[in-house]
Chain A
Amino acid sequence: MKKTGAVAALTLSLLSGVCVALAGQQMPMSFFVTSVGVGKGGDLGGLAGADAHCQMLAAATGSTGKTWRAYLSTQARPGQPAVNARDRIGTGPWYNAKGQPISQNQAELHGDTLEMAQRGSDLYKQSALTEKGQLVNGAGDMPNMHDTLTGSQLDGRAFADTMDHTCNNWTSSGMGTAQVGHSDRTGGGNTSWNSSHASRGCSQADLVGTGGAGLFYCFAVN
Chain B
Amino acid sequence: MKTTAVVGLALSALLGSAFALAAPQAGADPKMSYFVTSKAIGKGGNLGGIEGADRHCQALAAAAGAGNRTWRAYLSTQARPGKPAINARDRIGKGPWYNYKGDVVAKDVSHLHGDTLDQARLGNNITKLTNLTEKGEIVPGLNDGLNPRSREYAYMLEQTVSNRHETLTGSQPDGRAYPPGKDYTCDNWTSEANGTSDNLRENQGANVQVGMSDRNGGGNGSWNSAHGTVGCSQQNLARTHGIGMYYCFATN
CB-defined contacts of A125 to chain B, threshold 8 Å: 128, 216
Interchain residue pairs with CB less than 8 A apart (17):
A6-B239, A114-B117, A117-B114, A118-B113, A118-B114, A119-B173, A120-B222, A122-B220, A126-B141, A126-B217, A154-B122, A185-B215, A186-B215, A191-B125, A191-B126, A192-B121, A195-B121
Asked whether, in the complex, the Cβ of A9 is within 8 Å of the Cβ of B198, the reply is yes
Q: Report B-chain residues with C-beta under 8 Å of the C-beta of A186.
A: 127-129, 215
Could you list which residues of chain A lie within 8 angstroms of chain B, going by C-beta atoms?
6-7, 9-11, 14, 101, 110-111, 114-115, 117-127, 139-140, 154-155, 185-187, 189-192, 195-196
Which residue of the partner chain B has the closest CB to A118?
Answer: B173
B158 contacts the other chain (Cβ, under 8 Å)?
Answer: no
Q: Mark B36-73, 1 if CB is under 8 A from A, else 0.
A: 00000000000000000000000000000000000000
Question: Measuring CB to CB, which residues of chain B are less than 8 angstroms from any residue of chain A?
Answer: 104, 113-114, 116-118, 120-129, 141-143, 148, 151-152, 173-174, 198, 215-217, 219-222, 225-226, 235, 239
Contact of A124 among B122, B148, B152, B216 (CB under 8 A): B216
Shortest CB-to-CB span from A111 to chain B, Å, is: 5
Chain A residue contacts of B226, Cβ below 8 A: 119
Q: Which A-B residue pairs are the 5 nearest by beta carbons?
A: A191-B123, A117-B120, A118-B173, A154-B121, A186-B127
A-B contacts, CB under 8 A, total: 96
CB distance from A185 to the nearest CB of B (A): 6
In-complex Cβ contact of A154 among B118, B124, B127, B216 (8 A): B118
A27 to chain B, nearest CB (A): 15
Query: Nearest CB to that of B149 among chain A residues?
Result: A7
Residue pair B215, A117 in contact (C-beta under 8 Å): no
Q: Which residues of A contact B124 (CB under 8 A)?
A: 190-191
| Inter-subunit contact B216/A120 (CB<8 Å) | no
- Chain A residues within 8 Å of B117, by CB: 111, 114, 117
Closest to B222 in A: A119
Our pick among A110, A121, A192 for the contact of B220 (Cβ within 8 Å) is A121
